[in-house]
Amino acid sequence: MAVPAALQWMNGERGVLVLYIARILYAAPISLLAESIALGILSLFALSLEISADHDHDHDPFSRFFKTRPGVSSGILLGAVTLPGLMLSRLIQMLRGLSLNEVGVADLENLQLQYWATFASCFSVLVCFDVILQRQDNGVPSVDSCSNWNKKFSLSCIALCAGICCIAFSAKYQFGWQMVFMLLWVVFHGLVASKLIQRILRTFPACVSIGEALLVTSGLVIYFGDMLQNTVAKIFGYWASLGYLPVQYVVKRSEISTIIQGMTVGLLLFPLFLKLIFQISGHFKFVDISRERANHEMKKSFIFYASLAFLLIVAIPLWMQFVQDFHMHPLFWVLDFVFSEPLKTLSLCTYWIALIYASVTRFYDISKNSKTERILLRKYYHLMAVVIFVPALILQPEFLDLAFGAALAVFLILEIIRVWRIWPLGQLVHQFMNAFTDHRDSEILVISHFSLLLGCALPIWLSSGFNDRPLAPFAGILSLGIGDTMASMVGHKYGVLRWSKTGKKTIEGTAAGITSVLVACSVLLPLLATTGYIFSQHWFSLLVAVTTSGLLEAYTAQLDNAFIPLVFYSLLCL
């Protein structure tokens, strides 16, 4: 496919992503040249695959292997560049911190390793999908020049990326066992990601697009890899102190991040162990008699709640105490942390509970008895996120980190209960969740509440270390709570000019979203200055970040709650 032929396939979403990537590459210093070139090649490879996958709207080339969410494009480019772009933005930010002596060399090198692991995860998945597309082409009797060009281009991208990765690691670690070990660690992430995404797409058919699955897959692989790195660091801590292990394995982490990581990974793995326990105990057998069915459900629920209690009270805290010196049970550490400033934390908890209870009961009644569109009701929750999270982020950021982790744990537990229909809450949770679902949710998996929570939480968690951009932690709250909400409301009520003939997004809504975020930033920056934040956000950079994320919300058909906060955060970090 020649370059002019590729340009004719440049739609609005791809154009915005080109702007996103160009902005990051423009800000990258020469010391990150290898990472920048790798991101550029990854972007071109993903663009080529997306064009090949989406060129025939009536035929899905991946349908023989798995079912994706109907009615949307593949989203390969967006899914492939979001996390690597974010990691490169963080590297640029960390270099500024290193120049100010506020970041250690170990932190920077650890983040560089995570960047390459993220890159390998995304790139390996792209290679996997490229193989699938090549198989489709091989089944066609006449292979045209376009297909031959795609094969040559794919092989060139693979060779270039492998070469750049080897050159970057050889320059950093010289030629030795450390270089080999690091390359194997990066390749390991790629292999796991290529297997995991296929498992996700087959386990949850028609629930996500390829781009959404790619974002989830790369995120999970990096998060699990970081947990494994934490564990290895503790096991081989003595070796690292003697210089036998690389410096990347001895990075200090906070107690709150360890608690959140342990709870999240433990609950994500819990269904696998639970399924094994149910299979061993024989509780997957169909029971026809009603009394035996009731006994079966009660036994199943007992096993579930007992296993969950063991996981939360014993198994996960054991790992936390192993990798972090808590000097007490982690649950007691959490209570001690909460009651260290009881007036602030308990007042904030009371405020949250009252606000959540009032909003949930009110909007639940409206959703059951009103003709108001479901999408507008959901945007009210986006607006509630601003009221709930902004005061805590300004006054109690560490407590908000912990609260986000607790909320995510509750959501995971409730979703497991809903999917497995665990007595007595399973059916009740399922009915309640159905009142707030939309076309992106399914009977198998309800993801909207997860995407909203993580969209607000991830920028805050990512900013827990060095952060010289005061608006970066607010990326999710601003883009979802204000920008997305105002765009939907104004577009629904006043929108006339549409961005495309087939889409629902309007120019009026997008303009309202961008303007509202800029106004919110102009109010928030002076407020943050009064609490001790140093103003270091350039208005031109802010304008580019707000406009790019606003345009992406207008053009993309992917799960915007997941992608837009990460894109906005990446641009705010520059």
pLDDT at 4 over 70: no
pLDDT tier for residue 247 given thresholds of 50, 70 and 90: very low
Q: Output the average pLDDT for the chain.
A: 83
For the beta carbon of residue 431, count every other beta carbon within 10 angstroms. Answer: 10
The residues pairing with 416 across neighbouring beta strands, listed in sequence order, are none
Measured on CA atoms in the order 12, 573, 486, 461, is the torsion positive or negative?
Answer: positive
Q: Side-chain half-sphere of 310: how many Cα atoms within 13 Å?
A: 9
Q: Contact at 8 Å (CB) between 305 and 416?
A: no
The torsion angles phi and psi of 128, rounded to 5 degrees, stand at -60, -45
Dist CA 490 CA 514 (whole Å): 12
Q: 1: pLDDT confidence band, cut at 50, 70 and 90?
A: very low
Task: Of 486, 514, 491, give the one whose Cα is nearest residue 504.
Answer: 491
Residue type, 544: V
Task: Tokens for 208, please give them.
Answer: 């996500």
Half-sphere exposure of 42 (CA within 13 A, CB side): 34
In which residue are the tokens 């993580």 written? 454
Gap between the Cα atoms of 47 and 43, Å rounded: 6
Contact call for residues 46 and 21 (beta carbons, < 8 A): no
Q: Which phi-psi region, left, alpha or beta, contains residue 66 (left: φ > 0; alpha: ψ -120 to 50)? A: beta
- Over 50: is that where the pLDDT of 353 sits? yes
Instruction: Give CA–CA dist 424/416, Å, rounded.
Output: 13
Which residues sit opposite 498 in a β-bridge? 506
For residue 193, pLDDT beyond 60: yes
* Dist CA 562 CA 564 (whole Å): 6
* Amino acid at residue number 503: G
Q: Which of these ranges, 215-229, 275-289, 290-304, 535-549, has the smallest mean pLDDT?
A: 275-289
Alpha helices (runs of H) in 370-484, residue ranges in sequence order? 374-395, 397-420, 426-434, 448-462, 475-476
What does the block give as tokens for 176?
A: 């030795």
More reliable by pLDDT, 148 or 171: 171
The residues pairing with 484 across neighbouring beta strands, listed in sequence order, are none
pLDDT computed for residue 444 by the predictor: 76
Q: Could you report the per-residue pLDDT of 88-125, keeping only the tens digit for each?
A: 999 999 999 999 888 888 888 889 999 999 999 999 99
Residue 530 has pLDDT above 80, yes or no: no
Task: Name the region of 422 (left: φ>0; alpha: ψ -120 to 50; beta: rest).
Answer: beta
Q: Read off the pLDDT of residues 296-327 as tens digits, 9 standing for 90 and up.
A: 778 888 888 999 999 999 999 999 998 888 88
Which DSSP symbol is given to 58? T
pTM, full prediction: 0.91
Amino acid, single-letter form, for residue 140: V
